[in-house]
Amino acid sequence: MNIQNIEAFVYINHYGSFNKAADVLFLTQPTVTARIQSLERELDCRLFDRLGKQIDLTEKGRQFLPYAQQILQTYQKGKLHLHSKKAVAQVLRIGSTVSVSNYLMPELLVRLNQKYPNIKFKLTTAPTDEIARMLNAKEIELAFVRKLIHPSFQSYPFYEDPIRLYVYQDHPLAGQGRASIRELRNENLVFFECGSLDWLRIHRVFESLDMPPHIVYHVDNAETAKKLVLGRAGICFLPGLSVREEVEQGRLVPVDIIETAGISLQSSLISLRGENADYLTALLDLGMQLQH
């Protein structure tokens, strides 16, 4: 099986577009399409549903995705390891978006410290544009961002966080576990979005309804949205990492919505091209552990 075909598959899913995946991989769109067609022939199944400019994973594509991600990350780790050098920096400066900083970085930093006990870590939380500026200016070595295309950066899909509907524990939908988007028509919705393409896909699902959803609260912070749901002000689509504790405690309950299956919030690990291979290898390894 050709690793380049698997790479194209993972990147198309990560960036939500054949064209954007082609930009990141420095390929033409027809080349990326040909790689997917070749992979589909090898697997003897269709991986994407294409509806105009919108693409979605088929059921077979969703089943294959975690295996493809693991194959690609293992290959990338091996490649980086061949070119890695002993870390000499005394401080590793990392940039991160708010959501990654809140929900992934505490665990990642502890694990990095275990691997590099002589290194100090400095974390800067900022919007993606500011992080890109800092990385380009060498004010940080690595960063975790949403999907970002930049010719000076090497980018690796790092973590996929499924977006699901969450309700408070004794909400009528809590006992169902699964529902249709139409069943939400009379519900008070809290709508959290971080401006990424992943949330636009949720919007498109809402646009398919005869009646618009009853969105009472629009918020730009996952913690605010979560607290509104805990306070029974409404129900909300949220990334899984942001509510992991509350779900374990039984205070929030996930409900799978048929029409939004497969939508996830996706984070990339980026660095300047040709730099920080040792740290990238370690982080990709940690990313695989966290995902599974």
Domain annotation for the chain: domains and CATH numbers: 3-82 (1.10.10.10), 91-158+266-291 (3.40.190.10), 160-265 (3.40.190.10)
Which pLDDT belongs to residue 260? 85
Contact 240/252 with Cβ under 8 angstroms?
Answer: no
pLDDT at 77 over 80: no
Give the residue ranges of DSSP H helices in the chain.
Answer: 3-15, 18-25, 29-43, 59-82, 98-103, 105-115, 128-136, 197-207, 222-230, 244-248, 277-291
Q: What percent of the chain has pLDDT over 70?
A: 93
Q: Give the residue-averaged pLDDT of 236-255.
A: 94
Contact 200/226 with Cβ under 8 angstroms?
Answer: no
Q: Give the residue-averaged pLDDT of 144-171.
A: 87
Confidence category of residue 58, pLDDT binned at 50, 70, 90: very high
Which pLDDT belongs to residue 233? 95
Q: In angstroms, rounded to a whole number, what is the distance separating the alpha carbons of residues 246 and 280?
A: 31
Confidence category of residue 50, pLDDT binned at 50, 70, 90: confident
Contact 202/128 with Cβ under 8 angstroms?
Answer: no
List the one residue out of 209, 240, 238 whose CA is nearest residue 226: 238
Which residues are CB-contacts of 213 (< 8 A; sequence separation ≥ 6)? 184, 185, 187, 189, 206
Which pLDDT belongs to residue 87? 45
Least confident of 41-50, 115-124, 150-159, 238-247: 150-159
Confidence category of residue 213, pLDDT binned at 50, 70, 90: confident
Q: In angstroms, rounded to a whole number, what is the distance separating the alpha carbons of residues 204 and 200?
A: 6
